[in-house]
């Protein structure tokens, strides 16, 4: 049961490029609502080209906003447990995967710990992150850059 005190808005990006991508994302969303918090907003699905390692199938990505009272490390623990439950196998960085759940923002906090960096350090370089985020949180201000998600998307488009 999620308590209403100390709620944080957390933005997650989900992606899948193996198996039945839509079904896997739907299962991940269901598990996130059970284990992390109340999903208050969800973007549509976006078909995107792979980034980093391009010789793999296209991804289906979406962003969600969740109200949670969990701390960032507990969210990371829960998202990794969900990935494992859904069959994710970690073989290579940026490789093909059944499911990927990344924490983009945790309120306005900046966290830099081993294994956990929030805001996600590469989100401003990735249109597949900024497009679904801009759909659900266009005016959310990146706490490190002081720019909204929409402004970051515009800057990336101009490159």
Please identify which of the residues 21, 100, 112, 158 carries the catalytic annotation. 100
Residue-wise pLDDT tens digits, 34-88: 999 999 999 999 998 776 666 678 899 999 999 999 999 999 999 999 998 898 6
Cα distances from 26 to residues 15, 22, 122, 123, in angstroms, run 11, 6, 25, 23
* Conformation bin of residue 126: beta by default, left when phi > 0, alpha when psi is -120 to 50: beta
Decide if 159 is catalytic.
Answer: no
Report pLDDT for 52. Answer: 64
Q: How many domains does the chain have?
A: 1
Residue 38 in domain: yes
Please identify which of the residues 45, 58, 102, 158 carries the catalytic annotation. 102
Report pLDDT for 1. Answer: 40
Check pLDDT > 90 for residue 89.
no
Please identify which of the residues 88, 126, 158, 159 carries the catalytic annotation. 88
Report pLDDT for 81. Answer: 94
Residue 1 in domain: no
Decide if 97 is catalytic.
Answer: yes
**Domain harbouring 34, CATH code:** 3.30.70.560
- More confidently predicted of 98 and 25: 25
Report pLDDT for 97. Answer: 72
Decide if 21 is catalytic.
Answer: no
Residue ranges of the alpha helices (H) in 5-158?
A: 21-35, 72-85, 127-136, 149-157
Please identify which of the residues 55, 58, 90, 97 carries the catalytic annotation. 97
Residue 3 in domain: no
Residue-wise pLDDT tens digits, 93-152: 555 678 999 999 999 999 999 889 999 998 998 899 999 999 999 999 999 999 999 999
Confidence of residue 24 (pLDDT cuts 50, 70, 90): very high
Check pLDDT > 50 for residue 4.
no
Report pLDDT for 2. Answer: 44
Residue 2 in domain: no
CB neighbours of residue 119 within 10 Å? 20
Segments forming the whole domain that contains residue 52: 8-157
Is residue 2 a contact partner of residue 68, using CB atoms and an 8 Å limit? yes
Decide if 88 is catalytic.
Answer: yes
């Amino acid at each position: 049961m999620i308590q209403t005190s100390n709620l944080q808005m957390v933005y997650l990006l989900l992606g899948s490029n193996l198996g039945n991508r839509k079904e896997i994302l739907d299962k991940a969303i269901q598990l996130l609502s059970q284990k992390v918090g109340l999903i208050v907003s969800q973007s549509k699905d976006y078909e995107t080209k792979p980034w980093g390692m391009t010789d793999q199938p296209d991804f289906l990505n979406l962003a969600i906003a969740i109200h949670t009272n969990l701390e960032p490390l507990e969210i990371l623990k829960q998202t990794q447990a969900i990935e494992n439950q859904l069959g994710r196998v970690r073989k290579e960085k940026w490789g093909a995967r059944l499911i990927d759940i990344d924490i983009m923002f945790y309120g306005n906090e900046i966290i830099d710990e081993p294994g956990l960096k929030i805001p996600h350090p590469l989100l401003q370089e990735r249109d597949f992150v900024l497009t679904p985020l801009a759909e659900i949180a266009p005016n959310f201000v990146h706490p490190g850059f002081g720019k909204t998600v929409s402004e970051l998307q515009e800057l990336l488009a101009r490159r």
